[in-house]
Structure 1
């Protein structure tokens, strides 16, 4: 019987054939934690008697969720991470370097076929590279730091085949919002999602990261994006499912006629075409997060806003995915176009997505954002309403002051 991508990667690490639902202990290739989870992992590591990491070069700490620190308590947690990194000799990405998932890809911490752990629920983002990347709790991460191994229940897999090609102005974010709406927030619970088909093959790495990232909003354990058409700066052998692999479910969608999509309050799977909510007033717009804050996302917003001004009373906040992304956007004129339109830039990092600081909405305000979650209170105020959309829809809405299809302003 053939194997899925998840079964193949786990089998290679286990040193024997492994089937779905089998529990195994496997070596890992890397591990990451953020300022939201690393302090807990450090304390758990100490409580386990940890004196040294299994491999300091494979462990990364990232200060991105509340950076710069909004209060003394968080500043002290950042200090704990810095001290631990110095003591253990592991990698530390400090304030302003960027978002953890972006940095793991930018700095080559994850490669195709790896098993990679992150103490963050959107770790499947790295599945855009064909890695088995999954989120774990801080205690499991601490055990992996100590031993270089983790336990896994081998997930069953769902295959999503996407046929056709995306029309101009429709992005990977629109595509994945559509899929989350169809599959549901619990539809892929503890399963591996494989994205495949003609619509995938022309997508950039950044767009593929968007797909893998929001597989978490389907409840997925991990995600893989077909690597056909993807060029990487190193040679690798992509892991591919066998033709006779067994799937829990296979879905097929023709996406050539897909329109921009919006997830309306208060769930990521509450998705409608943009036309259904066009005209809804907007007070705040945000482009950022591990889902959509890469260079192509900023460029898409700039294409809408170049030579124009934000609607009166609307504020647009932008948090680039990393310092590298920000630098590239400065060099190509993207930042100038957005700044002249009235956008405000904040530190590369998670920013308002997690609702800790740098852009918490007010009571009764409507926010349109390129982030991944719109649960009540997600951005820091349960009395605000959050709409999820692509960077182009966010920019068009900020331009008009109401939710707008970018096609109406381009």
Structure 2
């Protein structure tokens, strides 16, 4: 039976010759992930079920990233529960303050995922790792608990949508614009419990950071996962980061897809997702009358080095407009150090921005950038639901790092293609 890339990975991990959409399978796991919010719940379920050991300490990843350094007593208790559990079960891949990073940027950087893996995480954006040719998806904390104990998880095999990408991205257009344009086209439920499988020469033209961003937001289209084919860029990335030996799965030529969506990368322009759904997509140039109060550049979607470089290109020699707060958050400590070495942090500070250690804080309205009533924020994060980043009357506009950084200098949503470089827009 012909299968898609995702279906082949799932069949392999279920020890089956083939699988079909809708089939229930029990699959072996190559990794389990939890963060400081979801892991304490998983620990409670783990202990409630009577488990006294994890299936393989080497395959468990616990990352403190949402509220660290801890913002209050509740956050401190959650982190303490994670520390105690990891110490008790001798889990080596525990990332605390000083080593932490935003989980979906950290695991690829640390070589914790490789091509052909099957991985679950108690966080909806676990679908990020499809950029590396892996099957990865978000689950609830109860499934995380079972996964830590048994090394297995139940899945319903997803059907798939083929996304054919052609051409190459133009200057100031990024992977964020690709995924927002796709969600704008198919809707937030357009790929409900399906696999988004990216193909075509355009897929190979994208950088790894762009692919990670695109797969990260597959869930915003309702998808079970997003996945890219493994190519030379993928293999080079895996080698650079010390990942284990890749296992390459390719879709069969006659594999069945629910539909095919075609996107010409060279025809895309910078876009912005208006409140209060990621599908509410408009061009940046048609959004330029919208004045803003805050800009956030970071998150598991756009906190990688290419994103920091994009912000630097705009902010170096420019200045954040008076009255706008610009918050920049490198996604991992290694990226933070690279920003220091490259001179980015000094440029950000001189431009009037503030820089934080890695945290998810503002993305989910936790801390480090809460919005007051009626305030507007351009953010490189992934969700813009009502009250997502603060007061229920505040508004979040999703955009790329180029668009966010340039908007910070103008005080309104602005098309980064208008940037002339080195101008002081204050």
After TM superposition, the score normalised by the length of structure 2 is 0.94
Matches within 5 A, 1:182-221: 182-221=185-224
User: How big is the shift at 1:11?
Assistant: 0.9
> Given the alignment, which residue of 302, 320, 325 partners 1:310?
320
The separation in 2 between residues aligned to 1:226 and 1:335, in whole angstroms, is 34
Structure 2 counterpart of 1:284: 294
> Given the alignment, which residue of 342, 346, 370 partners 1:360?
370
Q: What SS is found at the alignment partner of 2:76?
A: helix
Structure 1 counterpart of 2:423: none
> Given the alignment, which residue of 181, 185, 190 partners 2:184?
181
Structure 2 counterpart of 1:9: 9
Residue 342 of structure 1 pairs with residue 347 of structure 2: no
Instruction: Give CA deviations for 1:175-214 in whole Å, capped at 9, x if unaligned.
Output: 1110010011001111111011222212221111001001
**8 Å Cα contact 1:288-1:351 kept in structure 2:** no
Q: Which moved more, 1:181-190 or 1:246-255?
A: 246-255
Paired residue total: 410
User: How big is the shift at 1:88?
Assistant: 0.6
Residue 133 of structure 1 pairs with residue 143 of structure 2: no
User: How big is the shift at 1:237?
Assistant: 4.2
The separation in 1 between residues aligned to 2:58 and 2:191, in whole angstroms, is 33
Q: Which moved more, 1:177-186 or 1:16-25?
A: 16-25
User: How big is the shift at 1:279?
Assistant: 2.5
**8 Å Cα contact 2:372-2:390 kept in structure 1:** no
Residue 272 of structure 1 pairs with residue 282 of structure 2: yes
Which segments of structure 1 move beyond 2 Å, counting only runs of 4 or more? 226-229, 231-238
Residue 374 of structure 1 pairs with residue 408 of structure 2: no
Matches within 5 A, 1:237-256: 237-256=247-266
Residue 232 of structure 1 pairs with residue 237 of structure 2: yes
Q: Which moved more, 1:205-214 or 1:87-96?
A: 87-96
User: How big is the shift at 1:409?
Assistant: 1.8
Q: What SS is found at the alignment partner of 1:160?
A: strand
Structure 1 counterpart of 2:155: 152
Q: Which moved more, 1:113-122 or 1:378-387?
A: 378-387
Matches within 5 A, 1:16-95: 16=16, 17-90=18-91, 91-95=93-97
Structure 2 counterpart of 1:262: 272
The separation in 2 between residues aligned to 1:392 and 1:64, in whole angstroms, is 24
The separation in 1 between residues aligned to 2:110 and 2:377, in whole angstroms, is 32
* Structure 2: unaligned runs, 5 residues or longer: 240-244, 421-426
User: How big is the shift at 1:227?
Assistant: 2.6
Instruction: Give CA deviations for 1:62-95 in whole Å, capped at 9, x if unaligned.
Output: 1101111111111011111101000011121113
Q: What SS is found at the alignment partner of 2:211?
A: helix
Structure 1 counterpart of 2:424: none
Structure 1 counterpart of 2:120: 117
The separation in 1 between residues aligned to 2:379 and 2:207, in whole angstroms, is 21
**8 Å Cα contact 2:276-2:395 kept in structure 1:** yes
User: How big is the shift at 1:14?
Assistant: 1.4
**8 Å Cα contact 1:278-1:405 kept in structure 2:** yes
> Given the alignment, which residue of 410, 414, 417 partners 1:404?
414
**8 Å Cα contact 1:211-1:225 kept in structure 2:** no
The separation in 1 between residues aligned to 2:317 and 2:214, in whole angstroms, is 31
After TM superposition, the score normalised by the length of structure 1 is 0.98
User: How big is the shift at 1:228?
Assistant: 2.9
User: How big is the shift at 1:307?
Assistant: 0.8
The separation in 1 between residues aligned to 2:191 and 2:265, in whole angstroms, is 20
Instruction: Give CA deviations for 1:117-141 in whole Å, capped at 9, x if unaligned.
Output: 1000000001100110000000011
Q: What SS is found at the alignment partner of 1:351?
A: coil
* Structure 1: unaligned runs, 5 residues or longer: none
Structure 1 counterpart of 2:242: none
The separation in 2 between residues aligned to 1:114 and 1:226, in whole angstroms, is 13
Structure 2 counterpart of 1:163: 166
